[in-house]
Each structure stands twice: as C-alpha cells, then as structure tokens.
Chain A
Amino acid sequence: MTGLLQAVVVDAATPAVLGVYREMLGFEFMQRALLAGLLVGILAPLVGSFLVHRRMAFIGDTLAHVAFAGVAAGLFARSALGYSQEFLPFLTALVVAALAAVLIQAMADYADVYNDVSMAIVLSGGFAIGTVLVSLSGGIAVSINQYLFGGVTRLSWTDVYVLAGLTVLVVGIVVASYKQLLYSTIDERAARVARMDVDRTNYLLVVLAALVIVGAMQVLGVILVAAMLVVPVAAAGQIAPTFRSSILIAIVIAQLSTVSGITFSYTNDLAASGSMVLVAIGLYVIAVIFGRRFRIGQ
C-alpha cells in the first residue's frame, strides 16, 4: 500500500512540484516573493503567539488599518509635495502604526482592559484618514491597491532586505524579553507581584506588533495581514504540547501557508495574499480536527 502510494503520489508529484519550483525560482521577482513570505512566516506568528494568548488578536487588524493612514500620508507627501523617496510610505506607516500601538496600550492601561469599542474607533478612524488622504490626491490609487491587497510579486530586493533586517531585530528582542513576555502573557497580576516590568513589556509587545504589521503589510496587504498573526498561532494552540513548541509549530504552519500560498497563486494565477491566508485557515481546520482526534493537551 505504501509502495503504491509512493508510486502514485510522490513519484508522480515530486518531479512536477520540483519543476514548478525550478520554474518559479527562475524569476527574480518570485525569489523575492518566496523570501519575503518566509520572513513574514517567522515574524507574524512569533509576535502573534503573545498577542493571541492575551486575547489581543484584534490589535493586528487595528494597527494594519491605522498603518494604512500612514501609507496614504506617505504616498500623499510623495505625490503632492514632490518628495521622491521610495521608502516614505513605509516609514510613515511604521511611525503612525507605532504611535497608534502606544495610544491603544495607554487607553488599555487607563481603562484596565483592552476595550473593543475604542479599538474599533481607532481602526476605522485610521482607515478613514487613509481614504481621505487618498481622495485628496487622485493619482495614487494603483499603489494603494498594493498596500490594501498585498503585492508580493512587486517587492524590490531592498524591500526584502528591510524585511530581513526587521526579522533579525524582532527575533532578537523576543528572545531577549522571552521571560517577561511569557510571564505577563500567562498571568499579568502575578508577573507584577514578581516585579517583572509588565508595563514596559506591554508597550514593547504592541510596538513589536506594529513593526510586524507594517513589515508584513507589503506582502499580505492591510486587509489580510492580521490573519498571519492569528491563524497559525490558533492552529498551533490546538496541537502544541508546550508554549515554546507552540511558537515553533505556528512558525512552521505560517511557512507552509506562505510558501504553498505563493506557489498556488503562481500556478493558478490567483491573489497571493488570499491564497496564503486560505491555506493557513485550512491548516487551522486540520489542526482542530487532529487536536480533537488525538485529544492533545487532554
């Protein structure tokens, strides 16, 4: 049976799959796309693991929509005011998203809880500012599309290098702050009693989330970027035996989602960001069924 399966599936499929990858990797833009996908697949679930288990999954969406205002401001400045820096929209998005993250955390500290109403107001307010800025300068609709829906095939090598730098930075910070992040995620009050610096850690986490959102936005788009912070983490939570392994499993699931999503979109001429997120959701469903079937964690 195994031999037959190997003959039918592996032997037949492997050369075909390898052929697709050989062809894909022949194009530089696809090399960049896959590299960017792999980097986002590390960044998003790494930070998402701490957000999801604090019940802050929604903050990714909020920051993405606010970052859109930053992108629009950058594009507006570039087109209307005559600045020519290619990175202006990226930088403005980074600054605006980081400021919004700090604002959201300050509101949460003030109210003692992450308030979904204020989060929704920040989300729609950010997006509204973005659309107004876009309408103020009629000629930037095409580049806005890339930010809204992702443009993994339109990335430059510089974009990929920036994403790689961001990945090294975020991974370094998470590794260095792992104990603080974990303790305040699991039991914030006990972490405060243990004199861990919970306030600093909370601000650090939301700013990391803003960095990741803006970094991944060019790959996945404003509307779908938050999915990569949430879905692989939710899937890993179903099957992971430990917290540490849940982070690694979430990263593996995200890698499978980005690489197979990009490949699928290439072979079938479909939207890459949508394909990546659909694969991730498919893997989540499989993880739920698998987790229940084998009663993992029971």
Chain B
Amino acid sequence: MTVLDVANVTFGYTEVDVLENVSLTLDDGEFLGLVGPNGSGKSTLLSIALGLRRPDSGTATLFGEPAHAFDDGHRIGFVGQGVASNDRSVPITVEEIVRLGRFPHAGFGRFGPADHEAVDRAMETTGVAELADRRIQSLSGGQRQRAFIARALAGEADLLALDEPTVGVDAESREEFYSLLNGLSADGVAILLIEHDIGVVTEHADTVACVNCTIHYHGDPSGFGADVLADAYGTAQQVVHHDHCPDHA
C-alpha cells in the first residue's frame, strides 16, 4: 500500500521555487533515503509530504488522504533535526519523552494499560528502558536519538519520518541506529529518512531519492553514482563508503 505520495509538487517561500515538479512515493515497509545538498529543499519536501505545508501546485497524500487534511496523527512518527544535540535544559525524562508518542491516542483522557504497554515496549525495542528515569539532556547523542525513536514507536506509527537525526551522534551509535531502522522497515514500517551522509543511506536504504529543487535520482541505491552527484551537487563529489569514520559526501 502506498503510504506517502507526492505528485508534481512545486513550492516556493518567495517567488523563487524551492521545489519544482517533484514526485515521490513511499510504500509499506519501504526504507527511502532522501539526500541532497544544503538548501536543496529536503526539509521543505518532508514538510509538504507530512501535510505541514501545502504545495503551490501538485498534490501530497498520506495513506490515501490529502496530507494537509490527514488527522490520524499517531500513524506518523517524527524525529526532527537536532534531537541529538544538548542545547536545552528542559527537565524531562526519557519516559516522559516516549509518553508524548501516545498523546494522540490518549486524547484528553488518562493513560490506559495499552498506553503504558506501548511505552514500555517502545523503550525495550530501542534499548532505552534502563534509561527511563534519566533526564534527557544527561544522555549521549545516540541515547537521546533512540529515546526520540522510541517516542515515534510508542505511537505505533506506520510511517517514520526522520529529518537528519544523526547529527551529533557518534559512529557506533549511528550503526546501531541504522540497524534499528532496518529492523523496523522489515516489520512493515515505512521509513523516510533525510540524511546528509550519502554513503550510509546507499548502504542501508531500499531506495534513494536525490533532490535539489528537482528530483535528480529516485531508485535503487546501486544505481546512485558519481554522475547523479555531479548533476545534483554541481561539483565533483564522491560517495564515501565507510565504517566508523566521519561522514562527508
């Protein structure tokens, strides 16, 4: 089943278009990596796909409904930029963060047994159960990121959208993180990941899309090569396949 469908989308914050005639689809259990240079419109495309912004032209649908009118919030899990950085001093624990994922389910009412079970299960799956009572800013970048993934899982989301979640995370935690995503995708969760590290995306994702105002590539990671990079990024680039080394594409 098609989870997310963006068709012929054009959008601009000003008169200059950030996205031009962009089309993208994501199916059940598919792991799509979205790459592109800084300012290429990746996050804008994600906002449109998730219904937070409406395109100037074209359509965006979520689970078959117009994205902006889709209101089943618990079906989408979202992890944004900077979740791994330690720039806030809000006194909130890992468990409180994960519980947020159940809020669309619980509505105005109190948490029931199903909510508590989902929170516990999500923390077990992501390996943060033993950190449940720790304040979020006391954790490492990798642990923090897993807590935010757990928040998305607690909602039992069918679609997981991640906007550069690995910034500030060490290489080992990143590997664990991608294994976790591959596991979730195998369980049928559709994953849309924005990532600046092209090497990692081509290694783990089922499909890769490269955007820079328009879609420069959309398909199997094996076909994503230097010609696409030169086309989208404009300069001589290469994909760095690496294990545990700093990321640069």
Is there contact, CB below 8 Å, between A186 and B97?
Answer: yes
Is there contact, CB below 8 Å, between A241 and B133?
Answer: yes
Residues of chain A lying within 8 A (CB to CB) of residue B106: 179
Does A293 sit at the interface, judged by CB under 8 A? no
Does B103 sit at the interface, judged by CB under 8 A? yes
Shortest distance in angstroms between A269's beta carbon and chain B's nearest beta carbon? 38
- Residues of B in contact (CB 8 Å), total 34
A247–B218 Cα distance when bound, in Å, is 48
Is there contact, CB below 8 Å, between A194 and B78?
Answer: yes
How many contacting A-B pairs (Cβ < 8 A)?
82
Q: With A186-B90, A193-B50, A196-B73 as given contacts, are A244 and B78 in contact (CB-CB < 8 Å)?
A: no
Is there contact, CB below 8 Å, between A194 and B104?
Answer: yes
In the complex, the chain A residue whose C-beta lies closest to that of B81 is A189
Does A195 sit at the interface, judged by CB under 8 A? yes
Residue from B50, B70, B78, B93 in contact with A241 in the complex, judged by beta carbons closer than 8 Å: B93
Instruction: Identify which of residues 159-210 in chain A touch chain B, using a CB-to-CB cut-off of 8 Å.
Output: 176, 179-180, 182-183, 185-187, 189-196
Does A15 sit at the interface, judged by CB under 8 A? no
Find the residue from B52, B76, B90, B133 having the highest chain A CB count within 10 A.
B90
Does A53 sit at the interface, judged by CB under 8 A? yes
A193–B100 Cα distance when bound, in Å, is 12
Is there contact, CB below 8 Å, between B74 and A242?
Answer: no
Residues of chain A lying within 8 A (CB to CB) of residue B37: none
Q: With A190-B100, A241-B93, A242-B96 as given contacts, are A297 and B138 in contact (CB-CB < 8 Å)?
A: yes
A4–B78 Cα distance when bound, in Å, is 59
**Bitwise interface map of B from 95 to 134 toward A, beta carbon under 8 Å scored 1, else 0:** 0110011011010100000000000000000000000011
Instruction: Identify which of residues 260-279 in chain A touch chain B, using a CB-to-CB cut-off of 8 Å.
Output: none
Does B234 sit at the interface, judged by CB under 8 A? no
In the complex, the chain A residue whose C-beta lies closest to that of B93 is A242
In the complex, the chain B residue whose C-beta lies closest to that of A296 is B135
Is there contact, CB below 8 Å, between A297 and B91?
Answer: yes
Q: With A236-B91, A237-B89 as given contacts, are A192 and B138 in contact (CB-CB < 8 Å)?
A: no
Does B161 sit at the interface, judged by CB under 8 A? yes
Q: With A192-B52, A196-B73 as given contacts, are A179 and B103 in contact (CB-CB < 8 Å)?
A: yes
Residues of chain B lying within 8 A (CB to CB) of residue A176: 108
In the complex, the chain A residue whose C-beta lies closest to that of B104 is A194
A192–B88 Cα distance when bound, in Å, is 20
Residues of chain A lying within 8 A (CB to CB) of residue B73: 193-196
A237–B78 Cα distance when bound, in Å, is 26
Shortest distance in angstroms between B171's beta carbon and chain A's nearest beta carbon? 24
Residues of chain B lying within 8 A (CB to CB) of residue A246: 91
Residue from A185, A195, A297 in contact with B104 in the complex, judged by beta carbons closer than 8 Å: A195
A243–B100 Cα distance when bound, in Å, is 12
Residues of chain B lying within 8 A (CB to CB) of residue A242: 91-93, 96, 133
Residues of chain B lying within 8 A (CB to CB) of residue A236: 91
Does B203 sit at the interface, judged by CB under 8 A? no
Given A193-B52, A243-B91, 20 further pairs, Cβ under 8 A: A53-B88, A176-B108, A179-B106, A182-B103, A183-B103, A186-B100, A187-B100, A190-B79, A195-B72, A195-B73, A195-B104, A237-B91, A242-B92, A243-B92, A243-B93, A243-B96, A244-B96, A245-B91, A296-B135, A297-B138
| Residues of A in contact with B (beta carbons under 8 Å apart) | 53, 176, 179-180, 182-183, 185-187, 189-196, 236-237, 240-246, 296-298
A-B contact pairs, 25 of them (CB 8 A): A179-B108, A182-B100, A187-B83, A189-B52, A190-B78, A190-B79, A190-B80, A190-B100, A191-B100, A194-B104, A194-B155, A195-B70, A195-B104, A196-B73, A196-B103, A237-B90, A241-B133, A243-B93, A245-B91, A246-B91, A296-B135, A297-B91, A297-B137, A297-B138, A298-B135
Q: When A and B form their complex, which 4 residue pairs have the shortest distance between CB atoms, in order from nearest?
A: A195-B73, A297-B135, A193-B78, A194-B73
